[in-house]
Structure 1
Amino acid sequence: MARFNKIFAGPVTQVTPQVREAPAADGNIKPGNLIVLSSGEFTRAGATTVGKVWIAQDNYLALKGVEDAYAADDVVIGMELLDSQFFNGRVATGVNIAAVGTALTPGANGTLAIASTSDLVIGYSEEIYNNNTGSEQLVRFRAATNGQLTAAS
């Protein structure tokens, strides 16, 4: 008689966050940027990005902060956008997130932008923030369906 009554023994949840490592295509990736894999390297996502995106994690292995960009060819830690987790992503100056739950889409240079009905949605804001600071700022959001872009409704 069998000692166990289940084949899958665990863990009960995924180890979080789920990450992928790849070299930086250039020295412009900052933690909080949306990134994509291109020719085996991470590069910043753009406004026309389709497909899987990650978000750049701070380079804690090199004791770097959220304002320290990865150098070209450094190993970038890209976190998978799992919809059960919160992330802090970069929004460009001039972006006004007026309500919690605002649909967000990739903008220029790996930033988050407000989605229109024709844009693809990467996540939803978890805070209200008007970025009139003159520089990119980190804003909390929850990813939409595991980092896959979905059509706005």
Structure 2
Amino acid sequence: MARYNKIFAGPYTMALPQVRELPAADGNIKPGNLIVDAAGSFTNAGAATTGKVYVAQDNYLAMGGADDAYPSGDVVIGMEAQDSFIYRVRLAASQNVAVGSALTTAANGEVAVATTGDMVVFFADESFNNTSGSAELINARPAKGYKA
């Protein structure tokens, strides 16, 4: 079961984020994954991803939860990361973050702690030791200067 049940964390006084909608290239996109536009469809970002990434929003159109993957071919709602918002992104298993940890893209649309030379896309907005054995949602803010 997910630690959180929504991907967009606020602030509540602002309008909802800008989104892009594209079909899912496969059935492996979960809300909170980092995704990229691959030839007109969304697919999970990988460890070597460069360029624009989106955050997959919960599939509210089909009343899906935070752990419900988008079926292949269904419309995926990709949020554009904006500096003033907090997002819930999927932290890879066995990753430990503290508030302010730099995060980069990892396999399967997840994030991991960035090392030298990695593209930093988010900063952790909470401390969390992921010993669950699977990816978990954490609060994160887009990296300043990173333009989605």
**RMSD across aligned C-alpha pairs, in angstroms?**
1.6
TM-score (norm 1): 0.84
Conserved? CA contact 1:33–1:56, under 8 Å: yes
Mapping of residues 94-113 of structure 1, within 5 Å: 94-97=94-97, 99-113=98-112
Does the CA contact (< 8 Å) of 1:30 and 1:68 recur in 2?
A: yes
| Aligned-partner Cα distance in 2 for 1:137–1:119 | 21
Q: Percent identity?
A: 55
1:3-152 → structure 2 map (5 Å cutoff): 15-97=15-97, 99-145=98-144, 147-148=146-147
Query: How far 1:146 moved relative to its partner?
Result: 6.6
Q: Which ranges of structure 1 fall in alignment gaps of 5 or more residues?
A: 1-13
Over 3 Å counting, the alpha-carbon distance change for 1:61 and 1:146 in structure 2 is: farther
Deviation at 1:125, TM superposition (A): 0.4
- Aligned position for 1:11: none
Q: Distance in 2 between matches of 1:146 and 1:61?
A: 31
Alignment deviations for residues 15-68 of structure 1 (CA, whole Å, 9 cap, x no partner): 431100000000000000000000000000001000000000000111110010
Question: CA 1:49–1:148 in structure 2 vs 1: closer, same or farther (change >3 Å)?
Answer: farther
Task: Provide structure 2 residue ranges, at least 5 long, that are not aligned to the other structure.
Answer: 1-13
Are the structure 2 counterparts of residues 146 and 70 from structure 1 closer, same or farther at C-alpha, using a change threshold of 3 Å? farther
Distance apart, 1:148 and its partner CA: 3.6
Structure having the higher Rg: 1
**Aligned equivalents of 2:50 and 2:144: distance in 1?**
14
Secondary structure of the structure 2 residue equivalent to 1:109:
helix
Q: TM-score, normalised by structure 2?
A: 0.87
Aligned residues: 136
Secondary structure of the 1:120 match is coil
